[in-house]
Amino acid sequence: MKNINEKKIIQNIVDKTGDLSRYKMPQGLEIIKGIGDDAAYWKSEDFGYCVTSDSLVENVHFKLMNFSADKLGEKAVAVNLSDIAAMGANPMGMLINLGVTNDITEKWINDFYDGITKLALKYNCPVIGGDIVKSEILNISVTCIGYKKLNIKNKNIFLTRESVNPGDLVYVSGYLGNSKAGLEILNLLKTDLNDSEIYLINSHLTPVPRIELGIDLNEIGITSCIDISDGLLLDSSRLADSSIVNININSSMLPISVELKVIFPEEYKNYALGGGEDYELLFTASPNNQENIKKIAEKNELNLSIIGEVNNGNGEIMLDGSLTDPKGWDHFDN
What's the CATH code of the domain at 111? Answer: 3.30.1330.10
Backbone angles phi, psi at 325, to 5 degrees: -85, 115
CB 39 within 8 A of CB 158: yes
**Residue 140 and residue 198 in one domain:** no
How many Cβ atoms from other residues are within 10 Å of residue 96's Cβ? 23
* Of the candidates 277, 300, 131, 279, the residue with the CA atom closest to the CA atom of residue 208: 279
pLDDT at 332: 43
**Residue 175 and residue 320 in one domain:** yes
**Residue 177 and residue 323 in one domain:** yes
pLDDT digits (tens, 9 = 90+) for 288-334: 999 999 999 999 999 999 999 999 999 999 999 999 998 765 544 54
Residue 45 in domain: yes
Which of 20-34, 102-116, 224-238 has the least mean pLDDT?
20-34
Residue 204 in domain: yes
Q: Residue 138 has what DSSP assignment?
A: -
**Residue 124 and residue 232 in one domain:** no
CB 72 within 8 A of CB 173: no
- What's the average model confidence in pLDDT over 42-67? 89
Residue 161 in domain: no
**Residue 26 and residue 104 in one domain:** yes
Tell me the sheet residues that pair with 305: 172
pLDDT at 334: 47
Q: Could you give the CA distance from residue 329 to residue 334 in angstroms, rounded to a whole number?
A: 8
Residue 160 in domain: no
**Residue 34 and residue 137 in one domain:** yes
Residue 154 in domain: no
CB 185 within 8 A of CB 267: no
**Residue 201 and residue 117 in one domain:** no
**Residue 197 and residue 127 in one domain:** no
Q: Residue 128 has what DSSP assignment?
A: E
Report the SS3 class of residue 152.
Answer: coil
> Could you tell me the residue range of the domain that residue 288 belongs to?
169-327
pLDDT digits (tens, 9 = 90+) for 186-218: 999 988 999 999 999 999 999 999 999 999 999
Residue 158 in domain: no
**Residue 145 and residue 212 in one domain:** no
Q: Could you give the CA distance from residue 83 to residue 88 in angstroms, rounded to a whole number?
A: 9
**Residue 174 and residue 320 in one domain:** yes
Residue 334 in domain: no
pLDDT at 151 over 50: yes
Tell me what the pLDDT averaged over the chain comes to. Answer: 89
pLDDT digits (tens, 9 = 90+) for 28-52: 566 665 555 556 767 777 888 999 9
Number of domains in the chain: 2
**Residue 291 and residue 205 in one domain:** yes
**Residue 136 and residue 180 in one domain:** no
Residue 332 in domain: no
* Of the candidates 54, 141, 45, 37, the residue with the CA atom closest to the CA atom of residue 89: 37
Total number of residues shown for the chain:
334
Q: CATH number, domain at 215?
A: 3.90.650.10
